[in-house]
Structure 1
Amino acid sequence: MILCFDFGNTRLKYAFFDGSQLRETGFVADVSLASIAELTSTHTISFIAICSVIEIPDAIIDFLKANFQVRLIAKEDATVRFSAYDASTLGLDRLILAEACLAEFPSQNSLCICLGTCITYNLISSEGEFIGGAISPGLQMRAKAMAEFTDKLPHVSLKPDFTPWGTDTDSNLNAGVMAGTFFEIDGFIKEAESRFTNLNVILTGGDAGYFAERYTVNEHLVWKGLLVLVK
């Protein structure tokens, strides 16, 4: 089995591959040596690939390297090209998504929208060039900010069956987050479509499921990109 780790800003995700077949995905309860040691004991592992946007504790890296063949994915592993974009400022997580788009949708223009802690918009040309993108607050960040930066607004639980026009405080907050994000996404798609024909639009990330009835969603796209870079 190949074990892939994705150390994100808020969660540690993992995936097990049997060759090229995705067999299992999940989340590690906490970024601790004990939790990772327990996970690695559940399968026979031939190789571990790691992507991270945070600093991984040395004890975890030392444990994994002592017991497994490990590869820390770096920006230099990517094949996506750059011209106008400053590649040194692009996060590894977004590079991996770009690689996944190149592999999954070859010779196509793609807009990959990742809904995680933040929402990232990633525009990749059919020639394999990262054109540009945008970053905005994620769904949970928006909901949390309204509660924390006001005196009386509650922290609303988000619902996917939203309408732009709420009829009480909770539904107004849900509309602001969900409908507001929907209109934002739709606006970026329309802008990208004005520049590129035959645009492939894909949503991914932990919160992409909220919009599954409106757009094509692939919650496992990051694993595709990681596997491409490993091989």
Structure 2
Amino acid sequence: MILAIDVGNTNIMFGVFRRKDIIGHWRIGTDKTKTSDEYGVLLRKLVELGGVNVKSIRGAILSCVVPPLLDVLVATLKSYFGVNPIVVEPGIRTGMPILYHNPKEVGADRIANAVAAFNEYRRSVVIVDFGTATTFDCISEKGEYLGGVIAPGIMVSAEALFEAASKLPKVEITIPRAVIGKTTVHSIQSGIIYGYAGLVDGIVERIRKEMGTNPKVIATGGLARLVAPESKTIEKVDEFLTLKGLRLIYEWNAQ
């Protein structure tokens, strides 16, 4: 079995694969103050509570966009899982040409998403990832990473609004009953959900024109299932896309 870990700025998503099947998955908050021992106890306990025998994990792969946590998580995996993880970093085999001017600038999670999406659909794809940032990654029909778009994430935008407008209350991020809000809470919810649905649709339409194809649009990330039903362009939500990509990259680099 393989342990795949994706360290984001807000959350850490990890899952265990038996061959191609994900048999357990978990999400915890990212905390740059935690030690390798603290992460080790937490991750190992969650995996064991999920019914997975830690001793059966024969390898691990790690993508991390939080530099201070990279060495911490590597130490965690060595000490608490007995594996030396493959780290997604420049030079790793992905089977995908990266057409960014500087390929090192592309986040490891974005590469994993791109690899997973093209491997599954074998056509041009746009991946919309609703994370700390809302990212759009564009893959050509030849399986080339063309580049993408980075916009502020939903929670980042919401928190900025609440901090800057002191009279506005913090609200639960959920789909409102109507676009036209009858209360301040519903009005904010409408602005967030329908605003981001419109942002996604507008950017995807511009991407399609530039690509000159009709790419399949896949959404992933923590809030994808909230926005996707209100979007005209998102065709599928795959919450495990990043982990699937990490599993593929592991298999290509573990030999």
Find the aligned partners of 2:73 and 2:115 in 1 and give their Cα distance: 27
**Matched positions, count:** 230
Q: List per-residue Cα deviations over 1:175-217 (Å, max 9, x = no partner).
A: 2111110110010121122233231111111110103434311
Larger mean Cα displacement after TM superposition, 44-53 or 65-74 = 65-74
1:169 aligns with 2:176: no
1:38 aligns with 2:45: yes
Q: Tell me, what secondary structure is at the counterpart of 1:131?
A: strand
- How large is the RMSD of aligned CA atoms in angstroms? 2.0
Structure-2 change in CA distance of 1:26 and 1:131 (3 Å): same
Aligned to 2:209: 194
Find the aligned partners of 2:19 and 2:100 in 1 and give their Cα distance: 36
TM-score if structure 2 supplies the norm length? 0.82
1:51-66 matched pairs, under 5 angstroms: 51-54=63-66, 55-56=68-69, 58=71, 60-66=73-79
The Cα of 1:33 is off from its aligned counterpart by 3.0
Gaps of 5+ in 2: none
CA contact (8 A) 1:109 1:200 kept: yes
Aligned to 2:6: 6
TM-score if structure 1 supplies the norm length? 0.90
Structure-2 change in CA distance of 1:9 and 1:114 (3 Å): same
Structure-2 change in CA distance of 1:60 and 1:98 (3 Å): closer
CA contact (8 A) 2:175 2:190 kept: no
Find the aligned partners of 1:22 and 1:84 in 2 and give their Cα distance: 31
Find the aligned partners of 2:75 and 2:113 in 1 and give their Cα distance: 27
Q: Tell me, what secondary structure is at the counterpart of 1:74?
A: coil
Match of 1:98 among 114, 122, 125: 114
Which amino acid letter does the alignment assign opposite residue 35 of structure 1?
A: L
User: Percent of counterpart pairs with the same letter?
Assistant: 27
1:109-128 matched pairs, under 5 angstroms: 109-128=124-143
Gaps of 5+ in 1: none
Aligned to 1:223: 243
CA contact (8 A) 1:49 1:226 kept: yes
Find the aligned partners of 1:84 and 1:71 in 2 and give their Cα distance: 23
Larger mean Cα displacement after TM superposition, 38-47 or 211-220 = 38-47
